[in-house]
């Protein structure tokens, strides 16, 4: 086991390296998935794959610069705070606070995070890799990152315990309590009661962020902005239907993730969206690597193992339909007072709670996006994701829709050969 001192000495500079390598197109990288060992290597390769697209390269500039640039802004005096649950961004921006996504910190983090969590926090090796990865990353960043964090108790129960461990490390934690909707159809009065409860917590979150309640006029501006960006992302996904390999899977995943936080730079993110729309409207079709196109739906976690996305692309798979926690298919209501609209979106439009409430939406979108099969993705050791996945798989099996269950790791690094083989075989099945 590493000592605490050794762990401190080993704190990585991987994100600093990412910044220096933003525009580095290393020609030594091959196109084979097996040759790529790090998230940075996959990002470099994706830049090469999209050499024709200035907007994709600008997107990855935002990706690799997000966390270090946000921390630099905080050190320069700009208010910033970590957040779990991508829906908090409009409120953070309305409170003039940079939202720093916990998930994005882990996605491009250190391979040493799990070891750090097991050694310092004494997590058992059987623990969910998401919990270990998150706690380990924060330990490795102690002393050089923001120690304020807004968390949503609906995200993950084991993580709720993890936040208590971070409190002992001096983190200021604000909890937004969870109110999930387990039923497919609820009484309107019951839904409104849940919204009122959440409105109270959202107002409390704004006081925690800036010392006084949010200006609802500013929140209304942010709601209009996120709706505008949702619309542009949907337009890109629709344009991509006729040219799916112009924007490959990893780039598309990051494009959607950007709706949750805009990578800390809303104007630059919107410029990327506008650029991609212009490119897709005029660019020639990019052929499939295999000469075939198998349109697929992705349902579940977003994944840290970028080789999964590359394996899909290289086999001729095109993920045209996405159902990941960062919801982009439904807008906030602009006919309601801003805080109520915010609570309504989280309780109703985002479709939290039981996976039963997501099934119809997935089914209907398969017709729109032409998906022939579904990739269900969850993290090893995640009991919540495992249960959800089985309910969803059973539903679509009865409809005759082919699907595959994928279990990946939250920690960074290459995916297993078995996982890649299963993906390739699944796509080959459609030939």
**pLDDT tens profile 18-70:** 333 333 333 333 344 445 667 888 899 999 999 999 999 999 999 999 999 99
For residue 377, give the 3-state DSSP assignment.
Answer: strand
pLDDT value of position 418: 82
β-strand 80-83 against 148-152: which pairing, if any?
parallel
What is the SS3 assignment for 125?
Answer: coil
Residue 45 CA to residue 57 CA, distance in Å, equals: 11
Q: Where are the alpha helices (DSSP H) in 186-248?
A: 188-210, 216-240
Least trusted range by pLDDT, from 21-25, 239-243, 415-419: 21-25
DSSP 306-374: HHHHHHHHHTTEEEEEEE-SS--SSPPPSSS-HHHHHHHIIIIIT--S-THHHHHHHHHHHHHHT--EE
- Tens digits of residue pLDDT in 314-352: 999 999 999 886 568 889 999 999 999 999 888 877 755
Check pLDDT > 70 for residue 230: yes
pLDDT in tens, 285-302: 999 999 999 999 999 877
152 Cβ neighbours under 8 A, 6+ residues apart: 84, 85, 87, 88, 175, 176, 178
The full length of the chain comes to 431
What is the end-to-end Cα distance of the chain in Å, rounded?
Answer: 49
For the ranges 191-195, 250-254, 294-298, 422-426, the lowest mean pLDDT is seen at 191-195
Q: Which domain holds residue 219?
A: 4-428
Residue 47 CA to residue 303 CA, distance in Å, equals 19
**CA–CA separation, 198 and 144 (whole Å):** 32
Burial level of 20, CB count in 10 A (0-12/13-18/19+)?
exposed
- Count Cβ atoms within 10 A of the Cβ of residue 250 and give its class: 0-12 exposed, 13-18 middle, 19 or more buried: buried
* Residue of 404, 423, 390 whose CA lies nearest to 305: 423
Chain-centre distance for alpha carbon 216: 27
How many domains does the chain fold into? 1
DSSP letters for 49-97: HTTT-HHHHHHHHHHHHHHHHHHHHHHTT--EEEESSGGGHHHHHHTT-
pLDDT for the residue 41: 85
- CA neighbor of 224 nearest in space, from 236, 232, 212: 232
Overall pTM > 0.85: yes
**Of residues 15 and 120, more confidently modeled:** 120
């Amino acid at each position: 086991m590493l000592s605490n001192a050794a762990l401190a000495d080993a704190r990585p500079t991987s994100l600093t390296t990412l910044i220096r390598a933003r525009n580095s197109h290393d020609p030594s990288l091959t196109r084979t998935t097996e040759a790529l060992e790090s998230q940075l290597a996959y990002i470099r390769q994706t830049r090469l794959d999209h050499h024709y697209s200035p907007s994709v390269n600008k997107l990855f500039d935002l990706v690799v610069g997000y966390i270090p640039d946000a921390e630099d802004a905080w050190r320069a005096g700009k208010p910033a705070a970590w957040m779990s649950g991508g829906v908090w961004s409009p409120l953070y921006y309305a409170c003039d606070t940079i939202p720093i996504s916990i998930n994005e910190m882990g996605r491009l983090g250190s391979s040493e995070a799990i070891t750090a969590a097991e050694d310092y926090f004494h997590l058992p090796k059987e623990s969910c890799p998401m919990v270990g990865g998150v706690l380990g990353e924060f330990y490795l960043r102690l002393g050089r990152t923001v120690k304020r964090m807004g968390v949503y108790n609906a995200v993950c129960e084991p993580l709720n315990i993890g936040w208590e461990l971070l409190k002992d490390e001096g983190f200021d934690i604000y909890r937004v309590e969870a109110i999930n909707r387990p039923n497919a159809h609820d009484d309107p009065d019951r839904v409104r009661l849940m919204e009122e409860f959440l409105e109270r917590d959202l107002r409390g979150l704004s006081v925690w962020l800036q010392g006084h309640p949010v200006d609802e006029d500013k929140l209304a501006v942010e709601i209009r902005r996120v709706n505008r960006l949702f619309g542009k992302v949907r337009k890109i996904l629709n344009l991509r239907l006729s040219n799916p390999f112009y924007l490959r899977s990893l780039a598309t995943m990051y494009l959607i993730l950007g709706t949750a936080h805009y990578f800390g730079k809303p104007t630059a993110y919107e410029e990327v969206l506008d650029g991609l729309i212009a490119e897709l409207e005029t660019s020639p079709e990019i052929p499939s690597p295999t000469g075939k196109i198998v349109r697929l739906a992705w349902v579940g976690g977003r994944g840290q193992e970028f080789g999964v996305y590359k394996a899909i692309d290289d086999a001729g798979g095109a993920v045209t339909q996405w159902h990941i926690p960062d919801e982009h298919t439904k807008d906030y209501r602009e006919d309601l007072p801003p805080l109520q609209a915010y609570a309504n979106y989280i309780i109703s439009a985002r479709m939290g709670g039981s996976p039963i409430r997501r099934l119809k939406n997935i089914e209907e979108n398969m017709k729109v996006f032409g998906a022939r099969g579904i990739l269900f993705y969850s993290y090893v050791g995640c009991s919540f994701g495992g249960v959800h996945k089985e309910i969803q798989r059973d539903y679509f099996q009865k409809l005759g829709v082919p699907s595959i269950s994928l279990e990946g790791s939250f920690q960074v690094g290459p995916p297993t050969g078995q996982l890649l083989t299963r993906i390739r075989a699944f796509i080959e099945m459609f030939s």
